Chain A
């Protein structure tokens, strides 16, 4: 049930772009994205619902393709503050919106000056 994230880690220079992918083996109702900076609690970025809607947060956007059971997080013109571990989460209840949120193993993003 755990979604699969790729890549596991990525290193960028400031200003570069990155894409983080999240896929699931089961039908999805929604995908949630969180960022955790070192030593801190995870912080909400965005939720994507069925419909392929693209959302944005600062220069971070995401898409959700429920047919492919995939979501992608796009970080454009990365800043030092984007460094951290990004987690995608999917509802544990099959296809449903209720219940626990199961997270992937995370993608560690490091942005260098």
Chain B
């Protein structure tokens, strides 16, 4: 596609429910990144994929968070048993490769946990 696409753009859920956030990177981009941005805060790294594998999962805040990428393209970030502190904008980015390529960010998913 023309840019990184994320869905949904907004998600409101109740505490304790599971949510899935989707990212469709730019076609041909092998590297994919997930970041979290709480209100007025910086970009917190969550996970990085090169192809379908995730060599770095160090940023996932807890075992309630998981992510997968299939076919070297679309990625899904899953948050189980959501908590109020999970409320944030979840940003996905992709790059042509892992070596000092510029990141293209999607518009993000605004997650609100009530």
Taken together as a complex, chains A and B put the C-alpha atoms of A106 and B44 apart, in Å, by 11
How many positions in chain B have a CB within 8 Å of any CB in the partner chain?
24
Hey, which chain B residues are within 8 Å of A41, CB to CB?
Answer: 91, 105-108
Judged by DSSP, the binding face of B is loop
The answer to whether A105 and B42 touch across the interface, beta carbons within 8 angstroms, is yes
Question: Which residue on A lies nearest to B54, using beta carbons?
Answer: A100
Tell me whether A42 and B43 are in contact (CB under 8 A): yes
Q: Is B45 touching A100 in the complex (CB atoms < 8 A)?
A: yes
Determine which of B45, B50, B99 lies in contact with A103 in the assembled complex, contact meaning CB atoms within 8 Å. B45
Residues of chain A having any CB pair with chain B under 8 Å? 29-30, 32, 34, 40-44, 47, 49, 87, 89, 91-93, 97-106
Contact with A along B53-68 (1 / 0, CB 8 A): 0011011000000000
In contact, A92 and B103 (Cβ under 8 angstroms):
no
A92 to B106, CA, bound (A): 21
Distance in angstroms between the alpha carbons of A64 and B78 in the assembled complex: 37
- Cα A29 to Cα B47 in complex, Å, equals 20
Q: Which residues of A lie under 8 Å from residue B33 when comparing CB positions?
A: 100-101
**Contact assessment for B45 and A98 in the assembled complex, using a CB-CB cutoff below 8 Å:** no
Q: How far apart are B89's CB and chain A's nearest CB, in angstroms?
A: 9
Q: Tell me the smallest distance from the CB of A75 to a CB of chain B, in Å.
A: 19
Chain B residues closer than 8 Å to A102, beta-carbon distance: 45
Q: Contact flags (1/0) for B66-87 with A, using CB distance below 8 Å?
A: 0000000000000000000000
The residue of chain B having its C-beta at the shortest distance from the C-beta of A108 within the complex is B40
The reply to whether B98 and A44 contact each other, CB–CB distance below 8 Å, is: no
Beta-carbon contact of B102 and A99 below 8 Å = no
Chain A hits for B102, CB < 8 A = 32, 44, 47
Given the complex, which residues of A lie within 8 Å of B41, measured CB to CB?
105
Closest to A104 in B: B42
- Name 25 interchain pairs, CB-CB below 8 A, sorted by A: A32-B102, A32-B103, A40-B107, A41-B107, A42-B91, A43-B105, A44-B103, A44-B104, A47-B100, A87-B42, A87-B43, A89-B43, A92-B56, A97-B100, A98-B99, A99-B98, A100-B47, A100-B48, A101-B45, A101-B103, A103-B42, A103-B43, A104-B42, A106-B42, A106-B43
